[in-house]
Structure 1
């Protein structure tokens, strides 16, 4: 267990903030223990999903119903489903000390424990399996086709309960919720940390105009109707956002290659893929349980270069922005998320690209989110309204 503390900093339990006071009194309980003690609680999971855990057993014959389940990665399909059913402000993620793995009778599952492809292993063997999946567990996204959607939900199964003294941190979506939670558990002396990225939220959101925002965060979890992917016109999605789209949404890659072959996608002429399937089908655990799934996610394939080996073409980017300005209404684009086009792997500088994008996108009468470069931090002076629009308040 010596290397364990170095690599596994915490395990995680997802719950409603209404349950925190009870958890600090009784611990994180198994479903069976909650029933036996008659403890009232606010559920966040569908009863049918939870009841499926009754039917599966650990190697010693105990039902999963008798185990408290902790995740190695809380930013997973289960959390995604939860915060798309209830207000994310009502959700708390409890960080638990890794020493909980030393509890007698613990097991580790190599994915969602209720899913039959997941193995349920003794801790020593399970830790080895977890480290072999470490890259998957700590990835930013997942895919149902390659098993990563199941694997990222790997669990530590703790018999009966996790003691309150094993709780080390509580994570919530923002500072207002943190203040509320601190008042609820004032005697616990456990840090309450706002961590929006853990809840699929931007770490930063700045308004430039009434409809235009600058965002730091994960473009692929944007709530905008249409997501823009910067690509080349050769049909190769090798790195960056394009590679992510190829992996997470394989159908987008097929459409992209066809658009390149048919010349429908060109420098200065983006191609809009009006995808019909719901993004929740790939991101949420048990998407059929969502009563209000996200609207169909469209993808705007925006060519910033011809050859993937070249730097991006700022003139071509400007022509593409003109296309958006002239066509977004007729195409039915209702809201738009756009990366910092040509920055990062494209070799262009935000100081040149940012004002250009804002010039064209600020006049659209739909919500537009520009996602800032993730490769490096952008100096504050290049994020001001005055710099981006050439005007003062």
Structure 2
């Protein structure tokens, strides 16, 4: 898997950074117990709330990291949010953590396949997941499919430790990247 995935990404409001560096990146369920700013889409969260990974946990019990930071979720949040966002670069070694599952597309999708990291190495469509664009002007169905694929997720049970955060990208800060 390391050939394909060296880093993972997590998008969050900048104001959550001090909590993340104290507690780590928390699953939706754990984060709901502490004060934080959420950029989650309520409709998507309603779909995720009771969805269970076969042989695993409910989606809300995982931290969801993206394989491609430049995905439709980021685009939507940047377009419709007044929050100042940042992207956390996560060490790909979290893939070796116990219980990690990879969703070949947005995990809330009806068409998602959940894979072990070993299975994913041969089954993920990395070219589509990491494509620059998801638009397909000539085929709406292909566009919907590609959009979902670009939101492929690595699901880490419960939390990702602060030590796994390599860098913080802060758009338009003039700083490039910083880490606490």
TM-score for the superposition, normalised by structure 1: 0.42
Q: Which runs of structure 2 are paired with 1:43-192 in the superposition (5 Å)?
A: 43-87=38-82, 90-130=84-124, 133-143=125-135, 145-146=141-142, 147-176=145-174, 178=175, 182=178, 188=180
Which structure would you say has the larger RCO, counting Cα contacts within 8 Å and 6 or more residues apart?
2
Q: Which runs of 5+ in 1 are unaligned?
A: 189-393
CA distance in 2, matches of 1:53, 1:19: 22
CA distance in 2, matches of 1:87, 1:172: 15
Q: Is the 8 A contact 2:51 2:108 kept in 1?
A: yes
1:21 to 2, 5, 18: 18
Following TM superposition, by how much is the alpha carbon of 1:46 offset from its aligned partner in structure 2, in angstroms?
A: 2.5
Matched position secondary structure for 1:145: helix
CA distance in 2, matches of 1:129, 1:9: 17
> Cα 1:23–1:151, aligned 2, differ >3 Å: closer, same or farther?
same
The one-character-per-residue Cα deviations of 1:31-76 (angstroms, maximum 9, x if unpaired) are 11123xx210111122232232112111114210100000000111
Following TM superposition, by how much is the alpha carbon of 1:125 offset from its aligned partner in structure 2, in angstroms?
A: 0.7
The one-character-per-residue Cα deviations of 1:292-334 (angstroms, maximum 9, x if unpaired) are xxxxxxxxxxxxxxxxxxxxxxxxxxxxxxxxxxxxxxxxxxx
Q: Is the 8 A contact 1:108 1:127 kept in 2?
A: no
Q: Which has the larger radius of gyration?
A: 1
CA distance in 2, matches of 1:17, 1:51: 24
Aligned length: 174
Q: Is the 8 A contact 2:66 2:152 kept in 1?
A: yes
Please name the residue that 1:238 is paired with: none
Q: Which runs of 5+ in 2 are unaligned?
A: none
CA distance in 1, matches of 2:6, 2:99: 21
- Cα RMSD for the two superposed structures: 1.8
CA distance in 2, matches of 1:59, 1:123: 15
Q: Which runs of structure 2 are paired with 1:206-221 in the superposition (5 Å)?
A: none
